[in-house]
Structure 1
Amino acid sequence: MLRALALAAGLLALGGCAVLKEFAPRVEAEPLGPGEYIALKRSDILTTDELSPATQATLRVAGLDEGACLAPPTPDCVAALAAAQGFGDERRLAALAELWTQQAIALTPEGSVPAADAQIDAWLEAARHAYAYLFFSERAPGERAFEDRQTQVRDYYNYAVQQAASGLFQRWQDQAGHGAGTTTGPGDALSIAGWTITSDMSGVRMPEGVVLPRELVPASSISFAGLRSIYRRDGFGAEVVAVMGDDPVTTAAAAPSRAVEDRDDDRDDRQDRRRAGRSRPFSEMPSPTLTLLIRFPGEDLAGVLATRELLISAHDPYVDDAIELHGLHVPLSANYSAGYGLWLARSGFNRQSLQTLFGREEGITRPHLYMMQPYDPDRRILLMIHGLASSPEAWVNVANEVLGDEVLRREFQIWQVYYPTNMPLVLNQSAIRRIIVAAMENFDPDGRARASRETVLIGHSMGGVLSRLLVSSADDQLWTWMRENYELDDGRLERAGPRLDRMLRFEPLPGVDRAVFIASPHRGTAVAGNGLGRFLGRLVRLPLTVLEEVGELFVGDDDGSEPVALPNSIDNLGQDDPFVRAAADLPISPRVRYHSIIARTDPDVPLEQSDDGLVPYSSAHLPGALSEKVITGGHSVQETPQAILEIRRILHRDIGERPPRP
């Protein structure tokens, strides 16, 4: 015993504490909580602003965890790691992709678009090394399908492409003068940051007159209030919103007020834009979502890492869900909500719809048809018509949920009608009918495309009444209504000629074979005739375009006869209004199958006596409906989850009742 103590004392005298450390455990085990476990596996430069444990481990193995490789890394660190031995290309490329991502983040101020050569070059290097890892390392992507590291590297690629494309697009416009409406070809090569860059936009059908978008907005940089869900698909590529131009209808309402002396210029500018918006009564989505890829030429790893060339290609997520790349079937990422949400957020519909109702200058005077994606001849049309004092915003979550349903998205393309809700129903139905037919004839003049058949029509509130008119036929019924209620002499009727006939005599809209009516006052509502309704009715002003349509009928004659007062939209919704009563008895086409979604505010009230606060059940109910869903809620029931589920059920049933698509 004494000998052992003497030996320990001697060791202490010789080596001190350093010797004692040799007797301590070299490895210790500590428990990990669930958060620490996930962080160890999945944290990285994009999620925690620190390098992932996998990259840190690679640097330690290479002896590079100090000095030049402290955050952010220097080119010496990257070069040293690229030349290091002792591990395979897969591990090296993954670490290099993250290091370049870290470098690019450090060089690019938060919230800014990469503009300097060094910034763009760092993002392109991050994309290049991630691309090399995915397609040119030891294992194919399918062999790493369940590995967290591959998901991280794919994210480095997608984010780097998003950032690099944003910066390159800005530089492209600055250097080559490319922009919406220019004639310079997008395939022309440019030299930026030492890279030779070409683009391929052939995978995207641009709106007429547009060569390149005016603006690229990364989808990941936008958050939305008002959209209940964001629908997207994981995959390869960057999701961006391509802003093609201003909204053709609402731009006129967006001109800012300037000094008094400039107001005449403002007015002229608004009028010019309003005339431009009227040139075509239909337009495609002004801000579609695209998927962008950056591809680096080369048939092996060395070639990809040596090249200073790249190709940026754009893909329509409604058309391409995958591509063939280096012999592999590669799923593409997609975002189906961002473009739609950005369009609505920038539209100004909420303000303009009220300005329209009260006849203000900034309102609209004619219907316009919005197509939510470029026209697709092989997708059927889902046509939506909003209600009183409303706009396409009424369908925000309905449309988004349809776009988010893969089966419905493959089957349908969404069209939405935006119309002046102060106009009499008889004029609106005629104008809406004309723009739908005009759009069909423009895109499918022979009527052979699938898009020209089997259309589903959905209308809410007053839009439901208009939808019912669009699937009904009128022979002499509305002529009788006109004669009985307006005491028009034969001279006035003769002067109106065919213009009046096309409003009062019509057949069901071609191609529509199913309709959904939501909270629709087919037989009017008592609210339109009560004190508040009459007060609002007096505030509604009809646009001057009404005189262009039926001026011969309702203005006074040269002989001194008095002008005839036209009803406005609120007048038309009264339960005693002669037009609504006449329209309610028009026969619906026997080929159209229809459904009702009806709201009631109080489930304890007997159904026949209930209402949604505006529309009574007795007015919304339609005999002969294939289904009738009654939901507890108010008049804006179309946005409730229950109504959206019912719409989706009807659409899925519709698909199931048809022969399978080839």
Structure 2
Amino acid sequence: MRVCLLSGLLTGLLSLAGCAMVDVSSVSSKEFVALRRGDVLTTGELSNSTRSALQVLGLDENTCEAQAETCRNRLRTEPGLSDEQRMASLSELWLQEALRRETESRLTPGSGALKIHTMAAHLESARYAYAYLFFTTRGPTQRALEDRQAQVRDYYNFSTQQAAIGLFGLYQDELQDASQSEGLYQLALEDWTIRGSTVAMSLNAFSGLPKSLMTATELEFGGLRNQYRRDGLGAELVAAFGDRVVNATDANTPWNEMTFPVFTVLLKFEGNSLDEVLKTRNVEWLGYDPYRSKSTFMAGTEVPLAANFTAGYGLWLARSGFAQQSLLTLVGRGDALEKPRIYLMQPYDPKRKVLVMLHGLASSPEAWVNVANEVLGDAVLRENYQIWQVYYPTNLPLAFNNRAIRDALSETLKAFDPKGVNPASHDMVLLGHSMGGVIARLMVSDAGSTLWDGLLSEYAVTPDREQRLRSKLEPLLKFSAMPQVSRAIFVATPHRGTEFAENRFARFVSGIIRLPASVLSRVTEIAQLLVDPDSAAPAALTRPLNSINNLSNQDPFVNLAATLPISNRVKYHTIVGNDTPDLPLEDSNDGVVPYRSAHLEGAASELVIPSWHSVQERPQAIVEIRRILREHLAAHSMHARNGLN
């Protein structure tokens, strides 16, 4: 009997030992990353860290979803968790609540109360994230390599973004009233008080508030190869000050600042300790220009500012209407552009050098879509340059555009820097493609009397008519290099014209080009002064005076312009396309411009790239442009160290 009992007992113990409490299995690398980094933002489910914190208190995800408020209260008050665990988990739970309310709000259109509840939940999530980041025992730098801190930063950024967008939409009238007085505002949201200044939403020359705010991180752009941003703290937003780019003919000045500027928003919660932050219902809205501010101090800690450098530029191009307008301008139809515009890609900065971009025939700033974006994406270039896009009517003769663009740039510089003492007013760089390169060449050349003498040699002009011609033509034909420019980059530029302008298609297009009425009257008057009515008209006036004829290799003006000396103060570079690899370099062309016309003696560098005429979009060309811009910075930094001008 005893043996049987012992045997039974032993069997039972062995049976119990066989019920292992822990087993082991392997996970894939994808599952490993999901376990470490998955959370309510990325997967829609709570993170492993928050689930672990709940389990310490005997809670689980399902219970918390069914009894959210009770769960958050227990997490806030019961012992057993560190402050870091508690703050991070509460931030995620409040974010889960805000996302749930956002879903309900979409299903219940017009529910203002639900939208307010949603924003309040986002404020709670941002507040607990803020407390975790700056008021727990360890600081942000001590947790710099931890996944959990990156998650909590994202909770703060996302909730700040959603709260900012929601507050702007809900309280736009109150904010507009504040912007028209001292700019300070105080908003009430449930038991929260939000304070700030409307100046933080402007950051440019536009008066009043933007029409809307958009989330930069949610915008995608076709046609842009890359989107550039900077990791850090804050919501990345775009302010829309108009539905599209300002019409050039409506403005009294020749420039516009960016109509879709980007800015970064932070929410700063009142309090100097963890307890004070958790008790406060006061929060301050802070806005920053990411081009001017790389970091800021929060609760005594310097933190990098999040930023998006592509969204505003991409939105500007997408809503510009440039593509259609540039073609209509060529034939004098629709909302035609009549004079150059200077578009500043960011608020004017007196300390940054200016990079001026000039597009080609029948084109617009869209020609520089990836060039400009890649410059903005290069931290060194972004911190030292500001981009000015020139949009000009490409139907005008070269001499007219040269004069008009010079005047527009000079007026813009004078408006921002009347005394011309800022770094932005010196050592500018011109970047021109195709016809824009020809104009850039004129802008850095000294004409002296070459063009004027060449004109007189072509025509038998009486002394009386010559005097009248001087008043009309000297501003167009006698000029010096712009003193503000010290470097130029010519891309696929027909310095000596191109035979492409003589083919059948080009002749057809030339025939349908229409000049603006104001320019046409000037051209007609000049033609009447040049041509003696008693003699046959010279060959130069047997065809319309316009941009395409100017680009012909048979055009007297472009051939004379090619002989003008470039100022010895200006370093210049050429980038050339080659679409005829089977031909010797000297006989090659890019499909539009022959190498012989694009090549310039004395260039500091020349790069030939296998490409059609739109060579500026090739990655090799963009890398070369960036190299030249860095070289320009290095050269002038050395001059500054040596005390040179």
Equivalence for 1:36 = 31
Confirm whether residue 225 of structure 1 aligns to residue 222 of structure 2: yes
Q: Is the 8 A contact 1:249 1:364 kept in 2?
A: no
Any idea what SS the aligned residue of 2:42 has?
helix
Equivalence for 1:190 = 187
| 1:134-533 matched pairs, under 5 angstroms | 134-178=133-177, 183-200=180-197, 202=199, 206-250=203-247, 275-277=249-251, 279-485=252-458, 490-495=463-468, 498-533=471-506
**C-alpha displacement of 1:363:** 2.0
Count of paired positions: 628
Equivalence for 2:565 = 587
**C-alpha displacement of 1:212:** 2.4
Q: Is the 8 A contact 1:493 1:553 kept in 2?
A: no
Q: Tell me, in whole angstroms, the C-alpha distance in 2 between the residues paired with 1:338 and 1:21.
A: 63
TM-score (structure 1 length as normaliser) = 0.89
Equivalence for 2:552 = 574
CA gap of 1:175–1:591, structure 2 versus 1, over 3 A, is closer
Q: Is the 8 A contact 1:200 1:311 kept in 2?
A: no
Equivalence for 1:653 = 631
Which residue of 54, 64, 68 maps to 1:69?
64
CA gap of 1:74–1:487, structure 2 versus 1, over 3 A, is farther
Q: Is the 8 A contact 1:464 1:517 kept in 2?
A: yes
Equivalence for 2:53 = 58
Q: Tell me, in whole angstroms, the C-alpha distance in 1 between the residues paired with 2:559 and 2:510.
A: 19
Q: Is the 8 A contact 1:82 1:92 kept in 2?
A: yes
Q: Is the 8 A contact 1:239 1:292 kept in 2?
A: yes
Q: Tell me, in whole angstroms, the C-alpha distance in 2 between the residues paired with 1:203 and 1:442.
A: 23
| 1:512-661 matched pairs, under 5 angstroms | 512-547=485-520, 549-550=522-523, 552-554=525-527, 566-659=544-637
Gaps (5+ residues) in structure 1?
Answer: 13-18, 251-273
**C-alpha displacement of 1:209:** 4.5
* Residues 47-84 of structure 1: CA deviation (Å, up to 9, x unaligned): 1011101111111111221664027x622221121112
Q: Is the 8 A contact 1:201 1:313 kept in 2?
A: no
Q: Is the 8 A contact 1:500 1:550 kept in 2?
A: no
CA gap of 1:98–1:492, structure 2 versus 1, over 3 A, is farther
Between 610-619 and 237-246, report the one with greater CA deviation: 237-246
Any idea what SS the aligned residue of 1:413 has?
strand
| 1:99-110 matched pairs, under 5 angstroms | 99-109=93-103
**C-alpha displacement of 1:658:** 2.3
Q: Tell me, in whole angstroms, the C-alpha distance in 1 between the residues paired with 2:12 and 2:139.
A: 56
**C-alpha displacement of 1:490:** 4.8
Q: Tell me, in whole angstroms, the C-alpha distance in 2 between the residues paired with 1:303 and 1:104.
A: 23
CA gap of 1:567–1:110, structure 2 versus 1, over 3 A, is farther
Q: Is the 8 A contact 1:120 1:193 kept in 2?
A: no
Any idea what SS the aligned residue of 1:416 has?
strand
TM-score (structure 2 length as normaliser) = 0.92
* Residues 264-318 of structure 1: CA deviation (Å, up to 9, x unaligned): xxxxxxxxxx6423x1111111111101101011011111111111111110111
* Residues 96-146 of structure 1: CA deviation (Å, up to 9, x unaligned): 101111111111139979962101101111111100110111211111111
Between 378-387 and 548-557, report the one with greater CA deviation: 548-557
Q: Is the 8 A contact 1:117 1:193 kept in 2?
A: yes
**C-alpha displacement of 1:582:** 1.2
CA gap of 1:489–1:313, structure 2 versus 1, over 3 A, is farther
Q: Is the 8 A contact 1:376 1:451 kept in 2?
A: yes
Q: Tell me, in whole angstroms, the C-alpha distance in 2 between the residues paired with 1:597 and 1:204.
A: 40
Q: Is the 8 A contact 2:242 2:259 kept in 1?
A: yes
Q: Is the 8 A contact 1:178 1:212 kept in 2?
A: no
Identity of aligned residues (%): 47
Q: Is the 8 A contact 1:186 1:211 kept in 2?
A: no
Q: Is the 8 A contact 2:175 2:185 kept in 1?
A: no
Q: Tell me, in whole angstroms, the C-alpha distance in 2 between the residues paired with 1:553 and 1:604.
A: 45
Confirm whether residue 89 of structure 1 aligns to residue 62 of structure 2: no
Q: Tell me, in whole angstroms, the C-alpha distance in 1 between the residues paired with 2:281 and 2:116.
A: 14
**C-alpha displacement of 1:4:** 6.5
Q: Is the 8 A contact 2:183 2:199 kept in 1?
A: no
Q: Is the 8 A contact 1:525 1:615 kept in 2?
A: yes
Any idea what SS the aligned residue of 1:188 has?
strand
Gaps (5+ residues) in structure 2?
Answer: none
Q: What amino acid maps onto 1:93 in structure 2?
A: M
Any idea what SS the aligned residue of 2:637 has?
coil
Q: Is the 8 A contact 2:263 2:289 kept in 1?
A: yes
Equivalence for 1:7 = 8
**C-alpha displacement of 1:87:** 0.9
Between 626-635 and 356-365, report the one with greater CA deviation: 356-365
CA gap of 1:493–1:127, structure 2 versus 1, over 3 A, is farther
* Residues 408-428 of structure 1: CA deviation (Å, up to 9, x unaligned): 111111111000011111101
CA gap of 1:541–1:212, structure 2 versus 1, over 3 A, is same
**C-alpha displacement of 1:176:** 4.5
CA gap of 1:582–1:38, structure 2 versus 1, over 3 A, is same
**C-alpha displacement of 1:204:** 7.1
Any idea what SS the aligned residue of 2:92 has?
helix
Any idea what SS the aligned residue of 1:64 has?
coil
RMSD, aligned CA: 2.7
Q: Tell me, in whole angstroms, the C-alpha distance in 1 between the residues paired with 2:506 and 2:58.
A: 80
CA gap of 1:555–1:162, structure 2 versus 1, over 3 A, is farther
Q: Tell me, in whole angstroms, the C-alpha distance in 1 between the residues paired with 2:546 and 2:605.
A: 32
Q: Tell me, in whole angstroms, the C-alpha distance in 1 between the residues paired with 2:460 and 2:160.
A: 68
Any idea what SS the aligned residue of 1:574 has?
coil
CA gap of 1:134–1:499, structure 2 versus 1, over 3 A, is farther
Q: Is the 8 A contact 1:495 1:552 kept in 2?
A: no
Q: Tell me, in whole angstroms, the C-alpha distance in 2 between the residues paired with 1:222 and 1:627.
A: 38
Q: Tell me, in whole angstroms, the C-alpha distance in 2 between the residues paired with 1:482 and 1:111.
A: 72
Q: Tell me, in whole angstroms, the C-alpha distance in 1 between the residues paired with 2:136 and 2:200.
A: 28
**C-alpha displacement of 1:157:** 0.3
CA gap of 1:198–1:491, structure 2 versus 1, over 3 A, is farther
**C-alpha displacement of 1:22:** 7.1
Equivalence for 1:271 = none
Q: What amino acid maps onto 1:7 in structure 2?
A: G
Q: Is the 8 A contact 2:185 2:197 kept in 1?
A: no
Q: Tell me, in whole angstroms, the C-alpha distance in 1 between the residues paired with 2:392 and 2:485.
A: 20
Q: What amino acid maps onto 1:276 in structure 2?
A: D
Q: Tell me, in whole angstroms, the C-alpha distance in 2 between the residues paired with 1:440 and 1:404.
A: 25
Any idea what SS the aligned residue of 1:567 has?
coil
Equivalence for 1:263 = none
Equivalence for 1:269 = none
Equivalence for 1:265 = none
Q: Tell me, in whole angstroms, the C-alpha distance in 2 between the residues paired with 1:324 and 1:186.
A: 23
CA gap of 1:560–1:634, structure 2 versus 1, over 3 A, is closer
Q: Is the 8 A contact 2:576 2:598 kept in 1?
A: yes
Equivalence for 1:16 = none
